[in-house]
Chain A
Amino acid sequence: AQTVTQSQPEMSVQEAETVTLSCTYDTSESDYYLFWYKQPPSRQMILVIRQEAYKQQNATENRFSVNFQKAAKSFSLKISDSQLGDAAMYFCAWPSGGSNYKLTFGKGTLLTVNP
């Protein structure tokens, strides 16, 4: 089975500190994208960052960066200089279904940012 695992149901971080959310996945695909989405209390799903699997360089978007270990099938999200607005549920996801671009989502990690 192709699954995505987020082993940390909840995490907390102090404002301005750094936190890393983990994600492992299982796939037999050779070329794919991996995604992190955040879902704040408004429940709007927002794309945080995406990583192309055949690129060795880790993706970075401002304070958000990825540590992608393809051989280990690990895809962690690092948030630097955490802000109160980063508090949300974070889901990792990857395309799971052939040519119709279905996404499989992890169970999510609830991030709390303490002032």
Chain B
Amino acid sequence: GAVVSQHPSRVICKSGTSVKIECRSLDFQATTMFWYRQFPKQSLMLMATSNEGSKATYEQGVEKDKFLINHASLTLSTLTVTSAHPEDSSFYICSATGQDSTDTQYFGPGTRLTVL
């Protein structure tokens, strides 16, 4: 149990275009989903927290107009990188909690975004 999928696993796009990444909890209802960014050889950096049906809460320094988060259902959250630029190239990881009462986050496999 507690499986989280993420799609796509890799995406390459041109500068100025938008990219959408999907995060799904496959076998549980996710009360809260999280989006992280990870640079090479570094730890995870939380970008935002989203609850189903509510606006996402962004961490300080994260541009909410650039990184649009939608949490339309208890099993799906999406991250849209708008007007992507090369500096947005990174590894993006989502996680979900709600499978049990232990605050445990279960992670998707990540998406590698490359902006040319």
Q: Contact residues of A with B, CB < 8 Å? A: 32-33, 35, 37, 42-47, 50, 52, 91, 95, 97, 100-103, 105-108
Report the minimal beta-carbon distance from A51 to chain B, rounded to whole angstroms: 10
B60 in contact (CB, < 8 A) = no
Q: Contact between A45 and B107 (Cβ–Cβ < 8 Å)?
A: yes
Contact flags (1/0) for B75-101 with A, using CB distance below 8 Å? 000000000000000010101010000
Chain B residues touching A, majority SS: strand
The residue from B44, B103, B106 contacting A33, defined by CB atoms under 8 A apart: B103
Considering the chains assembled together, what is the distance between the CA atoms of A93 and B46 in angstroms? Answer: 12
Q: How many A-B residue pairs have CB under 8 A?
A: 53
Q: Which residues of A contact B93 (CB under 8 A)?
A: 43, 45
The residue from B32, B38, B109 contacting A100, defined by CB atoms under 8 A apart: B32
Closest chain B residue to A9, Cβ basis: B41
The residue from B42, B51, B104 contacting A35, defined by CB atoms under 8 A apart: B104
Q: Contact residues of B with A, CB < 8 Å? A: 32, 34, 38, 42-44, 46, 49, 51, 57, 91, 93, 95, 97, 102-107, 109-110
Q: Which residues of B contact A106 (CB under 8 A)?
A: 43
Report the minimal beta-carbon distance from A107 to chain B, rounded to whole angstroms: 5
Report the minimal beta-carbon distance from A27 to chain B, rounded to whole angstroms: 13
Q: Contact between A100 and B110 (Cβ–Cβ < 8 Å)?
A: no
Q: Contact between A100 and B104 (Cβ–Cβ < 8 Å)?
A: no
Considering the chains assembled together, what is the distance between the CA atoms of A32 and B43 in angstroms? Answer: 21
The residue from A33, A42, A105 contacting B102, defined by CB atoms under 8 A apart: A33
Q: Which of A32, A35, A45, A100 has the most CB of B within 10 A?
A: A45
Q: Which residues of A contact B103 (CB under 8 A)?
A: 32-33, 95, 101, 103
Q: Which residues of A contact B97 (CB under 8 A)?
A: 101
Closest chain A residue to B112, Cβ basis: A43
Q: Which residues of B contact A95 (CB under 8 A)?
A: 103
A35-B104, A43-B91 given as contacts; is B110 within 8 A of A103 (CB)? no
Q: Contact between A50 and B104 (Cβ–Cβ < 8 Å)?
A: yes
A35-B104, A43-B91 given as contacts; is B46 within 8 A of A102 (CB)? yes
Considering the chains assembled together, what is the distance between the CA atoms of A106 and B45 in angstroms? Answer: 10
